Amino acid sequence: MILQSLKIALESLWANKMRSFLSMLGIIIGVGAVIAIVSVGTGSTQQITSRIANLGSNMITVYPRAARGQGGRVSSVSSQEKFSLELTDYIEKFCPSVIKVIPVKQVSGRLISGDINVNATILGTNINYAEVNNYEVDKGNFISENDDGERRQVIVLGSQLAEDLFENDNPIAKRIKVNYDGQVYMFDVIAVMKEKGGSMGGSLDDQSYIPLSVAMDKLTNSDYVSSYIAQAASSEKASTAVNELKNFMAKFLDDEDQEQFRIISQDEILDTVSSVTKTMSMMLGGIAAISLLVGGIGIMNIMLVSVTERTREIGVRKALGARNVHILFQFLMESLNLTSFGGILGIGFGWAVAYFLSQYGDWPMVIAPLSIGLAFGFALFIGIFFGLYPAMKAAKMNPVDALRYE
Amino acid sequence: MAKIIQIEQLTKIYHLGKVKVEALRGVSFEINTGDFVSIMGPSGSGKSTLMHIIGCLDYPTGGKYFLSGQDVNKLNDDQLALFRNQKIGFVFQEFNLLPKATILRNVELPLTYNNTHSKNKKQLAVQALEEVGLGDRLKHRPNEISGGQKQRVAIARALVNHPSIILADEPTGNLDSKTGQDIMKMIDKLHDEGNTIILVTHEAEIARYGKRIIHLKDGVIDRDEVIV
């Protein structure tokens, strides 16, 4: 009987193609929106998390905050000056969850090769920097311990910087001039890094790297660094490491309110990003679900119109021997067909939208089978739920009244 | 002869708001298998109400109605539907074909509701359509054929289940007189082939095709006339 009701329902839907399509539209858009939004949500989250993970392994950065005074007086000693090189060892000692601390001295200068010059960020750092940042050497070797110990004037170039300065020539062993603060220093290029792309503070590819000792003693002649990069022992220990660092820095700087330093961890960024995207996709998914519901109400509306319009037909069918349950199933099948076809088209539609958006946004296209199942199941549920009332109305009709209906 | 229909003191009262309408006020008669009976009367005489009750579309308010020996008042909605499907073939004034379905599908409709196998269904429907001379119009839709042809489709649809009675309600009412005569000849021929026919009409000429005329007036039988 169900099969036969299905056949009758299909025939009558086919007879009203345009109307069927229009009433399906709500479901198509609803299901499509749910699938597309969930896909975009997961795809973009994956992209962002993988980018953040790519920044380095369990990296925590400690910056000094800009000096702040009270009541118009500048505080006597800027916290920045307390970021000494020796502190590196203390942090490693007092923060057991931190396995490595890399001091970074950041300056900007002008790099000159022949008649080309480029303004660039120059980071004074040590051998560990590349490793912690998941940053690989393309040609040559990264700064070694000897380079640092002997204060060799050697420089490593980011991929973009190397291209800007040397175009297609091999920069290794070439000599460039570095103009910092009006002084000119000669540096030998020892390595070019692989392309890496964005990071927490701009592109790494535009930066250059020199031994920390050179940056501190030769270029700036200062005894404090710009920041520390601490590496947590593992991602599980990252939050413990952050707390240890906070406590240590607060004590060391005598700064209970933690106003003189700032700690940014990868986990923190990941958490923020994923909670933001989660909230966003839940909100958008909710809106899409509401549009599905509205589509369902549209279906009910159409079905009610259809039942009234076909009162005569219902009378004839009953006169010819249709039982109430035949009529019930016929109309229920019609609404179920509308929503299930709408659901299938909606899956295709959502898929296409998700594909184009993923191409546009350059993130992986992820279609969760769960979201398909959920959206389709919800569409079927709506078909039954909103189809039931009109179908019952049709089934309950008195055959005599139905036959007389004009 | 076997009595196919026995009706005893049938009454039907409608309540239209506060107005009580007594459509039937105690009607009794019997119809034998193979009869051709016309039920005639002016509008408001209760003939439509009587036809609905005979057709198992409605319950009477009082009295008894036996169809093939079965007390119809004791049947529930579903059993009534089964009775309509198997015992009665309707021919309506307005044809009442499904406009979007082909003629073949229209004739197959009664078979759909008694789970006839789809292969037999088509065969039976084609056979019935051939009997009324429309074997070549299977794929047409009702709006593509004339009124007379529509009524012939309706007759084929009434015949397809081999019902106990064919119940024709003003079958010529929407047709011109020439076509109406053709239809009546066809119904007459069905009677000759052994079918029991009940014809409801207000036209005396049409009623004359019957072998017996039950004249209905104000909800009671005015005259029961046998045509010789």
Under the banding of pLDDT at 50, 70 and 90, the label for residue B4 is very high
Which residues, including other chains, have CB under 8 Å from residue B84's CB and lie 6 or more apart?
A318, A319, A320, A321, B55, B56, B57, B90
Give the HSE-up count for residue A395: Cα atoms under 13 Å, Cβ half-sphere. Answer: 20
Distance CA B222, CA B216 (A): 5
Domain membership of residue A97 (yes or no) is yes
Identify which of A244, A284, A281 has the alpha carbon closest to the alpha carbon of residue A263.
A244
3-state secondary structure of A154: strand
Domain membership of residue A60 (yes or no) is no
The answer on A253 and A286 residing in a single domain is: no
Which residues, including other chains, have CB under 8 Å from residue A389's CB and lie 6 or more apart?
A300, A304
Helix H or strand E encompassing B197: strand B196-201
Q: Give yes or no for A396 touching B (CB within 8 A).
A: no
- Strand duo A154-157 + A227-232: pairing: unpaired
Q: What is the pLDDT of residues A60-86, one digit of tens each?
A: 888 888 655 555 555 555 677 788 888
Please tell me what DSSP assigns to residue B22.
Answer: E
Distance CA B38, CA B2 (A): 19
For residue B142, the one-letter residue type is: P
Rg (CA), chain B: 17
pLDDT at B58 over 60: yes
The answer on A244 and A342 residing in a single domain is: no
Domain membership of residue A147 (yes or no) is yes
One DSSP character per residue, A172-211 reads: TT-EEEEEETTEEEEEEEEEEEPP----TTS-GGGEEEEE
Which residue is associated with the tokens 């009940």? B198
Q: What is the pLDDT of residues A43-60, one digit of tens each?
A: 888 887 777 777 666 788
Determine, for residues A321 and B86 on separate chains, whether the beta-carbon distance falls below 8 Å.
yes
Mean pLDDT for B65-94 is 92
The answer on A201 and A108 residing in a single domain is: yes
CB atoms within 10 A of CB A181: 10
In order of A174, A218, A252, B112, B138, the CA distances from A183 in angstroms are 20, 10, 35, 98, 100
Distance CA A312, CA A406 (A): 7
Alpha helices in A253-323 (DSSP H): 266-309, 311-319
The answer on A378 and A239 residing in a single domain is: no
Of A320, A325, A400, the CB nearest to B109: A320
Identify which of A28, A34, A23 has the alpha carbon closest to the alpha carbon of residue A342.
A28
Domain membership of residue A169 (yes or no) is yes
Q: Domain count of chain A?
A: 2
The answer on A277 and A144 residing in a single domain is: no
pLDDT at residue A170, as a whole number: 87
Of B82, B97, B100, the CB nearest to A321: B82
Chain B residue numbers touching A324 (CB-CB < 8 A): 77-78, 81
Q: Which residues pair with B127 in a beta bridge?
A: none
Q: Give yes or no for A315 touching B (CB within 8 A).
A: yes
The answer on A167 and A285 residing in a single domain is: no
Distance CA A24, CA A29 (A): 9
In order of A242, B34, B67, B210, the CA distances from B164 in angstroms are 91, 9, 9, 17
Q: Choose between A37 and B40: higher pLDDT.
A: B40
pLDDT at residue A74, as a whole number: 53
Q: Which residues pair with A227 in a beta bridge?
A: A104
Chain B residue numbers touching A313 (CB-CB < 8 A): 98
The answer on A190 and A311 residing in a single domain is: no
Domain ranges for chain B: 33-57+88-226
Domain membership of residue A238 (yes or no) is yes
Chain B residue numbers touching A11 (CB-CB < 8 A): 100-101, 105
3-state secondary structure of A355: helix
Distance CA A61, CA A67 (A): 18
Domain membership of residue A56 (yes or no) is no
CB A29 within 8 A of CB A291: yes
Question: How far B110 CA lies from chain A's nearest CA (Å)?
Answer: 5
Buried b (16+ CB within 10 A) or exposed e, B150-188: bbbbbbbbbbbbebbbbbbbbbbebbeeebbbbbbebbe
Under the banding of pLDDT at 50, 70 and 90, the label for residue B170 is very high
Q: What is the pLDDT of residues B81-130, one digit of tens each?
A: 999 999 999 999 999 999 888 999 999 999 988 888 878 899 999 999 99
Top CATH class of B33-57+88-226 equals: alpha beta
pLDDT at residue A199, as a whole number: 55
pLDDT at residue A13, as a whole number: 82
Kindly report the pTM of this predicted structure: 0.72
Q: What is the pLDDT of residues A10-19, one digit of tens each?
A: 887 888 888 8
Q: Choose between B22 and A289: higher pLDDT.
A: B22
Domain membership of residue A264 (yes or no) is no
Question: How far B80 CA lies from chain A's nearest CA (Å)?
Answer: 8
Determine, for residues A320 and B110 on separate chains, whether the beta-carbon distance falls below 8 Å.
yes
Helix H or strand E encompassing B64: strand B62-67
Please tell me what DSSP assigns to residue A75.
Answer: P
Q: Give yes or no for B98 touching A (CB within 8 A).
A: yes
Chain A residue numbers touching B55 (CB-CB < 8 A): 319
Residue ranges in chain A modelled with pLDDT below 70: 55-57, 66-78, 197-202
Which residues, including other chains, have CB under 8 Å from residue B57's CB and lie 6 or more apart?
A318, A319, A399, A400, A403, B84
The answer on A351 and A394 residing in a single domain is: yes
Q: Which domain holds residue A189?
A: 66-259
Of A11, A321, A324, the CB nearest to B101: A11
pLDDT at residue A210, as a whole number: 93
Q: What is the pLDDT of residues B196-221, one digit of tens each?
A: 999 999 999 999 999 999 999 999 99
The answer on A34 and A129 residing in a single domain is: no
pLDDT at residue A70, as a whole number: 57
The answer on A136 and A15 residing in a single domain is: no
Domain membership of residue A266 (yes or no) is no
Q: What is the pLDDT of residues B116-144, one digit of tens each?
A: 887 889 999 999 999 999 999 899 999 99
Of A1, A8, A318, the CB nearest to B81: A318
